[in-house]
């Protein structure tokens, strides 16, 4: 079973590309960010904890996120996996390795969507007007970039060392044009 991680900074297009991929392939899909937003909407205990962290642009603890991922993968063990927004720390990547190993799944493969920060900022500010996400304001976006540089960028190096990393240009071209490159890679994985 394939384990595909769609990787990239906030605004890189992970959600957009995931939607296109899911029309063409039968992946079990999980976006940890979407789950957290759903929990906030429900007003659950987790949602209440996560809301403040997300509005500050910080990361929800590895423990909580890994717990969510673990149950999702266990419940979908017969399917190919598409992970959006996870892992966000090296600790999470190590935990994922462990989960995949325990479930006898193969290694995870990472595809990064590469986009420059100034373009990311423009995209997120535009998305704010359309979707009204509370964490899509300039101050919070800056902190999300900081968190990405400090904690998440190292995840790419982690997979590069294992030769499980590919990156594509996520900046130039329409979402459809970018998806062609991505689908090409997925077919070969
Ligand atoms: N978040 C988190 N861990 C995750 C996913 C999301 O802490 O595994 C939080 C974090 O505060 C992040 C926010 O939720 O800034 C939004 O995440 P999402 O992946 O939806 O946004 P993106 O970074 O793709 O714009
Ligand atoms: Mg997203």
Task: For residue range 9-20, list pLDDT tens digits in order.
Answer: 999 999 999 999
Q: Which of 127, 151, 160, 181 is catalytic?
A: 127
The CB of 53 under 6 Å from ligand 1? The reply is: yes
Instruction: Let me know if 123 is a catalytic residue.
Output: no
Instruction: Let me know if 14 is a catalytic residue.
Output: yes
Instruction: Let me know if 2 is a catalytic residue.
Output: no
What is the pLDDT, as a whole number, of residue 91? 98
What is the pLDDT, as a whole number, of residue 64? 97
What is the pLDDT, as a whole number, of residue 175? 97
Q: What is the pTM of this model?
A: 0.95
What is the pLDDT, as a whole number, of residue 151? 98
DSSP states along the chain: --EEEEE-STTSSHHHHHHHHHHHS-EEEEEHHHHHHHHHHHT-HHHHHHHHHHHHT----HHHHHHHHHHHHHHTTTSEEEEES---SHHHHHHHHHHHHHTT---EEEEEEE--HHHHHHHHHHHHHHH--TT-SHHHHHHHHHHIIIIIHHHHHHHHHTT-EEEEE-SSS-HHHHHHHHHHHHHH-
Q: What is the mean pLDDT of residues 71-85?
A: 97
- Which tens digit of pLDDT belongs to each residue from 26-71? 999 999 999 999 999 999 999 999 999 999 999 999 999 999 999 9
Q: Give the confidence band of 93 by pLDDT, cuts at 50, 70, 90.
A: very high
Nearest CA to ligand 1 atom 16: 33
Q: What is the mean pLDDT of residues 150-175?
A: 98
């Amino acid at each position: 079973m394939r384990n595909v991680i769609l990787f990239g900074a906030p605004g890189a297009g992970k959600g957009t590309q995931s939607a296109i991929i899911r029309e063409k392939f039968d992946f079990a899909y999980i976006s940890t960010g979407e789950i957290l937003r759903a929990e906030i909407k429900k007003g659950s205990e987790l949602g209440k904890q996560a809301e403040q962290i997300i509005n500050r642009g910080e990361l929800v603890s590895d423990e909580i996120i890994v717990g969510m991922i673990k149950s999702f993968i266990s419940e979908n063990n017969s399917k190919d996996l598409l992970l959006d927004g996870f892992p966000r720390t090296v600790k999470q990547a190590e935990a994922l390795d462990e989960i995949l190993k325990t479930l006898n799944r193969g290694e995870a493969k990472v595809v990064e969507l590469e986009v420059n920060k100034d373009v990311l900022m423009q995209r997120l500010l535009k998305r704010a007007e359309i979707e009204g996400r509370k964490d899509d304001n300039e101050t919070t976006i800056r902190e999300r970039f900081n968190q990405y540089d400090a904690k998440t960028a190292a995840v790419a190096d982690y997979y590069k060392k294992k030769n499980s990393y590919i990156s594509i240009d996520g900046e130039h071209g329409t979402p459809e044009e970018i998806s062609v490159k991505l689908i090409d890679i997925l077919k070969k994985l």
